[in-house]
Amino acid sequence: MIGEVAAGEPIYAPEELGVYVDSPVDADAAMTVKGDSMSPGYQDGDIVYIKCRPDVQEGMIAVVFLDDEAVIKRVYKRQTGLTLASDNPAYPPIMAEFEDYTNMRIFGMPVGYTRIYKNRIEGKIKKGMV
């Protein structure tokens, strides 16, 4: 687990090793999703498992580092940067220009996630995995 990834505005996410999590899929890293811009696919609190790769196909979901901040978005390449689009229509796309960042790169693509369900009535936690 290397930190948090924003499903919304980018958040600080230094690439430091954190807690080891046992991944149910072949993955290189895991991050906790913060926010709801990728809902319904990825929701706040999900643990997303990432296969590191420096590129993804147009329109694929990826974790992207914008200097020390990370986002999980759909990636569209432009000559001057990347358009990072949310699945939730309430969020406008992020127009990330190469000239605005010292280090903009695709970290990898999600290959699975774990979602924790909490029953509000009984206060019980249920664990689901996809």
Among all residues, which ones are annotated catalytic? Answer: 37, 73
Tokens standing for residue 93: 């796309």
- Measured in degrees and rounded to the nearest 5, phi and psi for residue 28 equal -100, -25
Cis peptide before 40 (omega within 30 of 0): yes
Other Cβ atoms less than 10 A from the Cβ of 92: the count is 9
